[in-house]
C-alpha cells in the first residue's frame, strides 16, 4: 500500500450485517477494501441473540468474525458518553458504532435515520447498506444488473427503503461508469 493511500475503516451496525447475511451478500463485506469492525453490543445482537433465536444470518456473520474479516472492538467510554448524552432515541449498538467511527475516523455503516442524524451532528462519516453494493460495482466485483439484483435481495431480506429511495439507488447504479475488469 502506498504511504499516501488512506486505509479505509468501516464500523458496521447490526441492520446492515443482518441483511447482508440473510440475502446471501455477506461476501461483499469480505471483499470490501479496508478494516471492518463491530462493537460488542452489535456482536451480541447479531451473533449471540441471533443464534439463540435461530436466525439464519447469525452463523454467517459469526464466521466472518471467526475468520477475522470483521473484528470486535470496544469504543472509548468518553466518546460513547458524548454520543449518548441527551440522545434518548438511539440504541446502544448504534451509539457504539458511531463512537467507534468517531474514535477511528472511520465510516459508520448505518441505515437507521436517528443514528444517521446523530452522525451528522458529530461530523461522523456514514454510509448506508446500499453503498456496499455501489462499492462492489465500482470495484468491478459485480455489474450493473447484479447491483440491481443485490438491492432487490436486500429488500427481500426485509431491508426497508421507500420507493423514492429505491428509484434513487437504481439511478445511482445506472450512472456509474461501466468497469471493464
Would you say 26 and 105 are in contact if contact means Cβ atoms under 8 Å apart? no
Scan for cell 449518548, then name that residue.
84
Would you say 16 and 132 are in contact if contact means Cβ atoms under 8 Å apart? yes
- State pLDDT tens for residues 95-148: 999 999 999 999 999 999 999 999 999 999 999 999 999 999 999 999 999 999
Q: For the chain, which ranges sit under pLDDT 70? A: 1-6, 178-181
Total-model pTM = 0.90
Distance, CA of 58 to CA of 92 (rounded, Å): 19
**3-class secondary structure, 75:** coil
Domains, the chain, ordered by start:
9-129 (3.40.50.1010), 130-175 (no CATH)
Smallest CA-to-CA distance from 154 within 12, 13, 26 is with 26
Joined together, the cell numbers standing for residue 29 give 463485506
Amino acid at each position: 500500500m502506498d504511504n499516501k493511500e488512506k486505509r479505509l475503516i468501516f464500523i458496521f451496525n447490526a441492520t446492515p450485517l443482518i441483511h447482508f447475511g440473510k440475502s446471501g451478500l455477506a461476501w461483499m463485506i469480505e471483499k470490501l477494501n479496508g478494516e471492518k469492525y463491530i462493537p460488542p453490543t452489535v456482536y451480541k445482537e447479531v451473533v449471540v441473540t441471533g443464534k439463540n433465536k435461530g436466525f439464519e444470518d447469525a452463523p454467517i456473520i459469526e464466521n466472518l468474525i471467526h475468520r477475522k474479516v470483521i473484528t470486535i472492538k470496544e469504543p472509548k467510554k468518553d466518546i460513547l458518553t458524548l454520543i449518548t448524552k441527551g440522545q434518548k432515541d438511539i440504541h446502544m449498538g448504534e451509539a457504539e458504532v458511531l463512537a467507534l467511527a468517531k474514535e477511528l475516523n472511520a465510516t459508520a455503516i448505518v441505515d437507521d435515520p436517528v443514528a444517521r442524524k446523530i452522525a451528522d451532528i458529530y461530523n461522523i462519516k456514514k454510509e448506508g447498506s446500499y453503498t456496499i453494493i455501489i462499492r462492489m460495482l465500482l470495484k468491478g466485483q459485480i455489474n450493473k444488473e447484479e447491483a440491481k439484483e443485490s438491492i432487490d435481495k436486500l429488500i427481500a431480506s426485509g431491508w426497508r427503503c421507500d420507493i423514492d429511495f429505491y428509484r434513487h439507488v437504481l439511478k445511482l447504479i445506472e450512472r456509474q461508469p461501466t468497469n471493464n475488469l
